[in-house]
Amino acid sequence: MDGELVDWDDARIHILSHTLHYGSGVFEGIRAYATDAGPAVFRLTDHIRRLFNSAKIFMIDVPFTPEEIVEATKTTVRVNGLAECYIRPIVYLGYGEMGLNPLPCPVNVSIAVWPWGSYLGDEGVANGVTMKISSWRRHDPNAIPPAAKGTGMYINSSMAKVEALKAGYDEAILLSPQGYVSECTGENLFVVKGDRIITPPISAGALEGITQDSVLTIARDLGFDVEFGNILRSDLYTAEEAFLTGTAAEVVPIRSVDDRSLGDGRPGPITRRLQEIYHAAVRGQVDKYKDWVEHVG
Ligand X SMILES: Cc1ncc(COP(=O)(O)O)c(C=O)c1O
* 188: contact with ligand X by CB under 6 A: yes
Phi, psi of 224 (to 5 degrees): -75, 155
* 211: contact with ligand X by CB under 6 A: yes
Q: Which of 110, 134, 151, 212 binds ligand X (CB under 6 A)?
A: 212
Q: Which of 111, 160, 161, 183 binds ligand X (CB under 6 A)?
A: 183
User: Which is nearest to 250 in space by CA: 109, 125, 165?
Assistant: 125
What is the distance between the terminal CA atoms of the chain, rounded to a whole angstrom?
21
Q: What's the min distance (Å) between Cβ of 101 and ligand X? A: 27
Binding piece for ligand X, criterion CB under 6 A, among 67-75, 117-125, 204-212, 270-278: 204-212
The answer to whether 138 and 156 are in contact (CB under 8 A) is yes
- Residues annotated as catalytic are 149
Q: Which of 89, 124, 150, 186 binds ligand X (CB under 6 A)?
A: 186
Q: Which of 209, 253, 263, 284 binds ligand X (CB under 6 A)?
A: 209
Q: Which of 54, 110, 151, 247 binds ligand X (CB under 6 A)?
A: 247
Binding piece for ligand X, criterion CB under 6 A, among 4-12, 64-72, 162-170, 183-191: 183-191
3-state secondary structure of 224: coil
Q: Which is nearer to ligand X, 24 or 245 (CB)?
A: 245
CA distances from 273 to 53, 183, 224, 253, 267 (A): 32, 22, 12, 11, 10
* 205: contact with ligand X by CB under 6 A: no
Binding piece for ligand X, criterion CB under 6 A, among 77-85, 227-235, 241-249, 285-293: 241-249
Q: Which of 89, 246, 263, 268 binds ligand X (CB under 6 A)?
A: 246
* 29: contact with ligand X by CB under 6 A: yes
Q: What's the min distance (Å) between Cβ of 246 and ligand X? A: 4
Q: Which is nearer to ligand X, 29 or 263 (CB)?
A: 29
Q: Which is nearer to ligand X, 204 or 296 (CB)?
A: 204
Burial class of residue 227 in the structure, from the number of CB atoms within 10 Å of its CB (0-12 exposed, 13-18 middle, 19+ buried): exposed
Query: What residues contact residue 260 under an 8 Å CB cut-off, 6+ apart?
Result: 237
Q: Which is nearer to ligand X, 212 or 271 (CB)?
A: 212
The answer to whether 250 and 276 are in contact (CB under 8 A) is no
Phi, psi of 120 (to 5 degrees): -105, 15
Q: Which of 51, 210, 242, 296 binds ligand X (CB under 6 A)?
A: 210
* 268: contact with ligand X by CB under 6 A: no
Say how many residues touch ligand X, by CB under 6 A.
14
Task: Name beta bridge partners: 260.
Answer: 257
3-state secondary structure of 281: helix
**Distance from C-alpha of 243 to C-alpha of 241, rounded to nearest angstrom:** 7
Query: What residues contact residue 287 under an 8 Å CB cut-off, 6+ apart?
Result: none
Query: Which residues between 124 and 163 bind ligand X (CB under 6 A)?
Result: 157
Q: What's the min distance (Å) between Cβ of 284 and ligand X? A: 18
Q: Which amino acid appears at position 178 of this protein?
A: Q
Q: Which amino acid appears at position 32 of this protein?
A: A
Q: What's the min distance (Å) between Cβ of 217 and ligand X? A: 13
**Distance from C-alpha of 88 to C-alpha of 220, rounded to nearest angstrom:** 30
**Distance from C-alpha of 109 to C-alpha of 116, rounded to nearest angstrom:** 21
> Which residues would be at the binding site for ligand X (CB under 6 A)?
29, 157, 183, 186-188, 207, 209-212, 245-247
